[in-house]
Amino acid sequence: KNEVEQSPQNLTAQEGEFITINCSYSVGISALHWLQQHPGGGIVSLFMLSSGKKKHGRLIATINIQEKHSSLHITASHPRDSAVYICAVISRYGNKLVFGAGTILRVKS
């Protein structure tokens, strides 16, 4: 069983739509990252959170530690948001990131 599961695997949205990407994990964690990967391959950190909610522009990330679940929301989606969004967790007992498989998001204009 994968330690980090993301859903959906693929998501196509119309410009302006509200988008939610989900992440569930099975291990105890100290923190969770949401990352963005563009077609060129580079990885950009969007959020790191260990409780509650964080907001940056049109992006909102929430985490429920008891339920071992996090969500990434994008409000007023735009074609430039098209990318792979990856959830990764830091295990409570180590320092490495364990990655989910990613969600491929395509926003159409």
Partner 1 sequence: EPEVTQTPSHQVTQMGQEVILRCVPISNHLYFYWYRQILGQKVEFLVSFYNNEISEKSEIFDDQFSVERPDGSNFTLKIRSTKLEDSAMYFCASSEEMNTEAFFGQGTRLTVV
Site residues, partner 1 (CB under 8 A): 30-31, 33, 35, 40-45, 48, 86, 88, 90, 94-102
Residue 62, CA atoms < 13 Å, CB-side half-sphere: 9
Q: What is the number of other CB atoms lying within 10 angstroms of the CB of residue 70?
A: 25
Q: How far is the CB of 67 from partner 1 (least distance, A)?
A: 21
Q: How far is the CB of 63 from partner 1 (least distance, A)?
A: 14
Q: How far is the CB of 81 from partner 1 (least distance, A)?
A: 19
Q: How far is residue 65's CA from residue 29's CA, in Å, rounded to a whole number?
A: 8
